[in-house]
Structure 1
């Protein structure tokens, strides 16, 4: 039986420590994939990837809120384009409480947020956002859920439900973003390993 959480099933055919999780509507260049993998090799206990989101405490509602606005901080790296260690697939499938799985399966949403909760709970560390081209590219031939208000509201609910089940908020905020070395330095492009990332414009 396939569920939305099946993407994190610890399939025995997966032999590499690193897993690159990609949604079908995401376009990454080979340089973006290569650079993210190099970063992950230095931080294999973290989620390393591109699209980032954040959470914050809303005093007016006395609850946690989830935001997709571009800011200087984040606490979630979406698994639509991210590297992480395969061990987290095992923890996600066999370690998490049934109520957490039930929340994801019933909503058909939030599996990426739950994975971030899990990794931050284990490591007590935030994920790592890496540099990307000026505009994250998605395949517009597929209908996007990110523009659906109900989808966003559901993710707000998930953040609060997950924190209640965990008994605290495990997500950790970060301001760190890792960029290729020399990407802004006025040196010959021949010396730069990730030339296209700079040429296409880094936000």
Structure 2
């Protein structure tokens, strides 16, 4: 503020204005002195800085990063130690695809055929979560390139089942996906290595979304702003996202917040992906990582699906606020889209 005030005074004291503004300059300096007396030095950082919208107060919840309670945002080092203690014995240099399907045989057939048509060095297994409850699941098989394709039929109709930390998983990295979207095989190995090097502490995937605070303090789910300097995102959708199995494990824990999230997902039949993003950011204090690879991911875009239903965005916004209430604050962390390009340059 003082710098801008000095600049203003310098402009006012230019030769053609000097004589006519002597009194005005003295008056401005007097006002500045009064302001500094009212706002002591310890509060100078607050002068001239309004609170960002993302930290708006009101009837909603502030970001967890504003809180000092250690039980809100856990240190990253503690998360890594706990994850390694529990899952250190799993394979680190390969990944598993957990693919959810529901009565879309054409999309499932195309996606599986594409992923199995060529050798993907680090792909260990594909597990198809078979939600066709009125049909028997197909038999498991091994592909031409040695990839096991296993079908798992859940015991109940719940979106949470896709996030279940299957005890049969052999890898730390799980690529969550749906039957209608996939990375091209030539890109999948690259994306996995991005996860290994930069993303194992965060959700890492192809489709990003935003969570913005309204002036009321409530949170709004949206497709993110395309305006300059607003290229941030806070969530990665789990229809194509790498996650550490430890996030899935915590999502299914007895933690009261995680339990409340799972119950609400069953009640609303929506938002399991938002819930997992909450868990990941709460545990690590880190935001997600957007990685689209060299080519665009493939989205078969079927006409059906929850996201096509009327009121979908409003329902997703409600999930943000229900989950923030569960944690007592908003754990999601904004990340800049430019980060993706930087990672590609340096790798």
Q: TM-score range by the shorter chain?
A: 0.7 to 0.9
- Higher share of residues assigned helix: 2
Cα offsets for 1:13-66 (capped at 9, x unmatched)? 10101001111111320133222101110131211101000111111x431101
One of 40, 45, 49 as aligned partner of 2:205:
49
User: SS of 2:312's equivalent?
Assistant: helix
- Whole-angstrom CA distance in 2 between matches of 1:73 and 1:147: 24
Cα offsets for 1:67-99 (capped at 9, x unmatched)? 113541100011110111111111111144222
**Higher RCO (Cα < 8 Å, 6 or more apart):** 1
One of 158, 163, 178 as aligned partner of 2:340:
178
Cα offsets for 1:151-170 (capped at 9, x unmatched)? 22111100000001110000
Name 1:102's counterpart in structure 2.
263
Cα gap change, 1:182/1:62 in structure 2, threshold over 3 Å: closer, same or farther?
closer
Task: Provide TM-score, normalisation by structure 2.
Answer: 0.49
User: In the alignment, is the contact (CA less than 8 A) between 1:113 and 1:159 conserved in 2?
Assistant: yes
Name 1:190's counterpart in structure 2.
none
Task: Provide TM-score, normalisation by structure 1.
Answer: 0.81
Deviates more, 1:144-153 or 1:5-14: 144-153
User: In the alignment, is the contact (CA less than 8 A) between 1:51 and 1:136 conserved in 2?
Assistant: no
- Whole-angstrom CA distance in 1 between matches of 2:163 and 2:184: 23
Name 2:242's counterpart in structure 1.
83
Task: Say whether 1:140 aligns with 2:301.
Answer: yes
- Whole-angstrom CA distance in 2 between matches of 1:164 and 1:96: 14
Instruction: Report the structure number with the largest CA radius of gyration.
Output: 2
User: SS of 1:149's equivalent?
Assistant: coil
- Whole-angstrom CA distance in 2 between matches of 1:80 and 1:4: 12
Name 1:8's counterpart in structure 2.
163
- Whole-angstrom CA distance in 2 between matches of 1:4 and 1:55: 21
User: SS of 2:290's equivalent?
Assistant: strand
Cα gap change, 1:108/1:45 in structure 2, threshold over 3 Å: closer, same or farther?
same
- Whole-angstrom CA distance in 2 between matches of 1:175 and 1:79: 19
List aligned pairs for 1:118-197, cutoff 5 A: 118-132=279-293, 136-176=297-337, 177-179=339-341, 181=344
Q: How many residues are paired up?
A: 183
Task: Say whether 1:36 aligns with 2:197.
Answer: no
Report the alpha carbon displacement of residue 135 of structure 1 after superposing the two structures with TM: 5.6
Cα offsets for 1:133-189 (capped at 9, x unmatched)? 676532133514333332221111000000011100000001044247469xxxxxx
- Whole-angstrom CA distance in 2 between matches of 1:39 and 1:88: 18
User: In the alignment, is the contact (CA less than 8 A) between 2:206 and 2:290 conserved in 1?
Assistant: yes
- Whole-angstrom CA distance in 1 between matches of 2:212 and 2:310: 19
* 5+ residue gaps, structure 2: 1-154
User: In the alignment, is the contact (CA less than 8 A) between 2:201 and 2:286 conserved in 1?
Assistant: no
* 5+ residue gaps, structure 1: 184-192, 194-203
User: SS of 1:112's equivalent?
Assistant: helix
User: In the alignment, is the contact (CA less than 8 A) between 1:25 and 1:142 conserved in 2?
Assistant: no
